[in-house]
């Protein structure tokens, strides 16, 4: 049960967002993008966390119903792997790996460089951004 279109759509959306965000450094003379960039990055971090929580919850619930739950759990892993990243059966896969979100955040951070420190984030978001950008 593969969903190849989902992953490609995510990559395209992320690429467009990253290109526009980084280009805004020179092209957005009024600073509209820089004004909303912190809230947008926060939303991406929170979305990523919600997907991880959803996977954990669904897998826990699927485990309570025996054999059908095992099949359902495998389907959950396969479907959400497009969002979380990694192969569903990869033992090295961690729930906190989302290449689409993380790569986009890293590219924006690289584009903005030290200017990222001018943005203010809630402590939990700043911590998550720091972890993503140091990898």
73-117 residue pLDDT tens: 777 777 766 555 545 454 444 444 457 778 888 888 998 888 888
What percent of the chain has pLDDT above 70? 73
Cα–Cα separations (whole angstroms), residue 54 to 7, 49, 51, 121: 18, 9, 5, 24
Backbone φ and ψ for 92, nearest 5 degrees, come out as -85, -5
**Mean confidence (pLDDT) of the chain:** 76
Q: Stretch 52-57: mean pLDDT, rounded? A: 80
What's the distance, CA 82 to chain centroid? 10
Report residue 43 as tokens.
């939303």
pLDDT score of 125: 94
pLDDT score of 129 more than 80: yes
pTM of the entire predicted model: 0.68
pLDDT score of 63 more than 90: no
pLDDT score of 57: 83
Task: Tell me the C-alpha distance between 88 and 83, whole Å.
Answer: 11
Following DSSP, what letter does each residue of 24-43 receive, concatenated?
Answer: HHHH-TT-HHHHHHHHHHHH
């Amino acid at each position: 049960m593969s969903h190849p279109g989902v992953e490609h759509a995510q990559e395209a959306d992320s690429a467009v967002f990253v290109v526009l965000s980084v280009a805004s450094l020179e092209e957005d003379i009024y600073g509209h993008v820089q004004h909303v960039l912190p809230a947008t990055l926060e939303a991406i971090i929170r979305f990523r966390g919600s997907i991880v929580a959803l996977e954990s919850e669904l897998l826990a619930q699927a485990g309570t119903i025996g054999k059908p739950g095992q099949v359902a759990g495998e389907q959950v892993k396969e479907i959400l792997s497009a969002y979380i990243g990694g192969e569903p059966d990869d033992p090295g896969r961690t729930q906190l790996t989302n290449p689409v979100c993380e790569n986009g955040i890293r590219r924006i951070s690289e584009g903005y460089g030290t200017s990222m420190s001018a943005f203010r984030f809630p402590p939990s978001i700043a911590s998550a951004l720091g972890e993503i950008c140091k990898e």
